[in-house]
Chains A and B, each alone.
Chain A
Amino acid sequence: MSELRAHLLDWHEAGQRLVPPWWSRVLAGSLIAVAAVLPLFFPPSSGFINATIIAVGYAVMALGLNVVVGFAGLLDLGYVAFYALGAYSLGWFGSGFFFKARVHFLVSPVTRTLPGIHLNFIVILIAAAIICAAAGMLIGLPTLRLRGDYIAIVTLAFGEIIGVIAVNGQSVHVGDGMTLTAGNLGISAVDQPYFPGIGSFNLLDLRPWYWLILGIMLVVLFINLRLRNSRLGRAWVALREDETAAVSMGIPLVRTKLLAYSIGAAFGGLSGAFFGTYYTEVNAGQFQFGFSIFILSMVIIGGLGSIWGAIAGGLVLGFINNYLIPDVLNDLPGKFGLNFQLTQVEFGIFGFLLVIMMLLRPQGLIPERRRRLELTARIPAEDAQLADVPDAAQGAT
């Protein structure tokens, strides 16, 4: 691997010489501008736009999970729980599911006549964020005294618990014949986002949906960037690097960890609420353990701890999952005379990609600044003799 590392070093230095330091800001700005006008070049309900919307939604979740796993170093294998809670927030507060209630707030004239709780989508987003942040703290509490793998096990269990509650929630009665969830039947006929002056969204024109999720992603991105270079962001990295040293330097363990969990969860909730309305139903079958791993793969492929990496990972895996495999390459095996479709082996494909990625570029697509420094910084002269055994040491850092 040391040869490869040397190559990476060379590329990096060549890159540094070619581009001035402010290039990343310009690049980010132009990427966002391109993203904003992108749907104008496609038919309003094309498969590509659909895939892009889902990919951006994934990117939001990857950004959320990156706060927990990447910044704070808490391996969370139950992130699907927050997707579920976000989606159910939408199901509860934006459909006729609680049919005995009649609550309406800033919804379209048609919706105003329907039974159930119908809140404006922005209100639902806020509710989803709050519910998920609270749930994030709840999952954080039992893991406070744990480290490493044990955190992963507890969070995994939490994800499964939420999944099981979602399935069995139709037997949980909350009064007047209403239940907590609709289980595998799904809460259907959920409201579509409505904004006074813009009107209701519909699935014939996907562009407003796209701008909505892009807006959500930009807000989440902004918060991420701000947090990374703040007192709180530093505290997360310190906890990740050495918990004992961090607490004895004055980092409050409980508050700092719980904030990481709840902020990450809140972002997952935003995305979950969006997917709830975009998929037009909230079905317990969506919230499988495999989805937690899927999101985690995005974070790792993008570059653990890297904000732009999380977005890249979310977009790449989102596109592969929702566009490349089903729409573009699905018949590929058939053309070679093989009797299966690519969608049947998609998890195999992701596994293969992950292995390739770990072998060729373990630091991810867009590595975090710190990881990049670790790879490129020169070893001090005094330690030159030690530099001959770097592989083990690099792995440990």
Chain B
Amino acid sequence: MSPAGAQAPPTAAVLRAEHVTKNFGGLSAVKDVSIEIPQYAIVSLIGPNGAGKTTLFNMLTGLCRPTQGTILLGGRDITRARPDRITGFGVARTFQNIRLFGAMTATENVMIGHHVRMRSGLWGSILQPPRVRREERETRARARELLAYVGLPEAAAAQLASQLSYGDQRRVEIARALASEPTVLLLDEPTAGMNPYESQRLTEFMHKLRDELKLTILLIEHDMKVVMGVSERVTVLDHGEKIAEGRPAEVRSEPHVIEAYLGRQD
């Protein structure tokens, strides 16, 4: 692993938010934030609780619409696109509090991720011509592959998601996101609840994802060790506003970032 700062300046931004604001009633969860995710980069979004990180994620994936501002994917304006369309355009995500479909098996969960790449409709589902059967078979096989790729034990693939251990649920969630064949992957606190060793493994895995699957990754992270180890760029939010941006080492030494995290020193 090369130190993050030594990377060549990344190429064009794949995902870009321009001056986005989100108001919930009188409260501004996100205020005039602009952020650029360069292609094949790993960018971290950090900030104290309630800083608006997850709200920004939700806007990027279409779960809520910005009050103001524009979100661009490649050259395409996705500000008002439906979440399922955005998934189709190549943005996949995981959730802070794991949101698997508990009553479905791990494999089925991952197959849902592939839904957007499948074609069979109502009549295809009922009549099941060879084309549909083949698609179904391939999706299942692909789901198994992805589960193996993220390191889920083989026996767990047929278990209900709700009965998997916490770590395995995290793995399945990443596999489910990968099944939609994304170009941009958004991870919301992927190391929450992990011990330092597991976090380290996940850090390595993120590099692997970027290099092998040509992914661009944006992650929300609290664990500074992970942030410093994995990201080329860091954006800091506090009270809905962007207070710093840059290379991890630079950001870490910024006084108002320290202030946001630790409070003012009088």
Residues of B close to A230: CB separation below 8 A = 120, 124-126, 128, 132, 136
Residues of A close to B166: CB separation below 8 A = 382
Question: In the complex where A231-B136, A232-B125, A234-B111 touch, is A248 in contact with B93 (Cβ < 8 A)?
Answer: yes
A-B contact pairs, 27 of them (CB 8 A): A227-B126, A230-B120, A230-B124, A230-B128, A231-B118, A231-B135, A233-B125, A235-B115, A237-B101, A238-B104, A245-B95, A248-B62, A248-B83, A249-B87, A249-B116, A249-B180, A250-B84, A250-B112, A250-B113, A250-B116, A252-B84, A263-B122, A373-B105, A374-B163, A380-B163, A383-B165, A397-B162
- Most-contacted residue by chain A among B61, B113, B115 (CB, 10 A): B115
The distance from the CB of B25 to the nearest CB of chain A, in whole angstroms, is: 18
Residues of B close to A349: CB separation below 8 A = none
Binding site for A on B (CB under 8 A): 61-63, 82-84, 87-88, 92-93, 95, 99-105, 108, 111-113, 115-116, 118, 120-122, 124-128, 132, 135-136, 159-160, 162-166, 176-177, 180
Question: In the complex where A230-B136, A234-B108, A377-B160 touch, is A247 in contact with B83 (Cβ < 8 A)?
Answer: yes
How many angstroms between the C-alpha atoms of A375 and B185 in the bound complex? 35
Q: Does A241 contact B (CB under 8 A)?
A: yes
**Chain A 244-271 interface residues, beta-carbon cutoff 8 Å to B:** 244-253, 259, 263
Question: In the complex where A248-B61, A377-B163 touch, is A232 in contact with B113 (Cβ < 8 A)?
Answer: no
The distance from the CB of B198 to the nearest CB of chain A, in whole angstroms, is: 13
Q: Does A25 contact B (CB under 8 A)?
A: no
Q: Does A370 contact B (CB under 8 A)?
A: yes
Q: Are B163 and A250 in contact (CB under 8 A)?
A: no
A226 touches which of B88, B99, B128 (Cβ 8 Å): B128
Q: Does A3 contact B (CB under 8 A)?
A: no
How many angstroms between the C-alpha atoms of A260 and B105 in the bound complex? 22
Residues of B close to A245: CB separation below 8 A = 95, 99-101
Residues of B close to A383: CB separation below 8 A = 165
Q: Are B101 and A250 in contact (CB under 8 A)?
A: no
B160 touches which of A226, A242, A246, A374 (Cβ 8 Å): A374
Residues of A close to B83: CB separation below 8 A = 247-248, 250
Residues of A close to B63: CB separation below 8 A = 244, 247-248
Residues of B close to A263: CB separation below 8 A = 122
Identity of the chain A residue whose Cβ is nearest the Cβ of B91 in the assembled complex: A248
Residues of A close to B127: CB separation below 8 A = 226
The distance from the CB of B132 to the nearest CB of chain A, in whole angstroms, is: 8
B104 touches which of A227, A231, A234 (Cβ 8 Å): A234
Residues of A close to B162: CB separation below 8 A = 374, 397
Question: In the complex where A234-B115, A245-B99, A249-B180 touch, is A380 in contact with B165 (Cβ < 8 A)?
Answer: yes
Identity of the chain A residue whose Cβ is nearest the Cβ of B177 in the assembled complex: A249
How many angstroms between the C-alpha atoms of A233 and B165 in the bound complex? 26
The distance from the CB of B131 to the nearest CB of chain A, in whole angstroms, is: 12
Identity of the chain A residue whose Cβ is nearest the Cβ of B120 in the assembled complex: A231
Q: A241-B101, A241-B103, A383-B165 are in contact. List 20 more A-B contacts (CB 8 A).
A: A226-B126, A231-B124, A234-B104, A234-B108, A234-B115, A237-B104, A238-B101, A245-B99, A246-B101, A247-B63, A247-B83, A248-B61, A249-B84, A249-B113, A250-B84, A250-B112, A250-B116, A252-B82, A374-B103, A380-B165
Residues of A close to B128: CB separation below 8 A = 226, 230
Q: Does A379 contact B (CB under 8 A)?
A: yes
- Most-contacted residue by chain B among A230, A240, A248, A252 (CB, 10 A): A248
How many angstroms between the C-alpha atoms of A244 and B62 in the bound complex? 11
Residues of B close to A370: CB separation below 8 A = 103-104, 160
Return the 5 tightest CB-CB contacts between A and B, nearest first.
A250-B116, A230-B125, A250-B87, A241-B101, A245-B99
The distance from the CB of B58 to the nearest CB of chain A, in whole angstroms, is: 9
The distance from the CB of A265 to the nearest CB of chain B, in whole angstroms, is: 14
Q: Are A227 and B125 in contact (CB under 8 A)?
A: yes
Residues of B close to A248: CB separation below 8 A = 61-63, 83-84, 87, 93
Q: Does A223 contact B (CB under 8 A)?
A: yes
Identity of the chain A residue whose Cβ is nearest the Cβ of B98 in the assembled complex: A245
Residues of B close to A235: CB separation below 8 A = 112, 115
B103 touches which of A237, A249, A259 (Cβ 8 Å): A237
Residues of A close to B111: CB separation below 8 A = 234
Residues of B close to A250: CB separation below 8 A = 83-84, 87-88, 112-113, 115-116, 180
Identity of the chain A residue whose Cβ is nearest the Cβ of B87 in the assembled complex: A250
- Most-contacted residue by chain A among B136, B160, B162 (CB, 10 A): B162
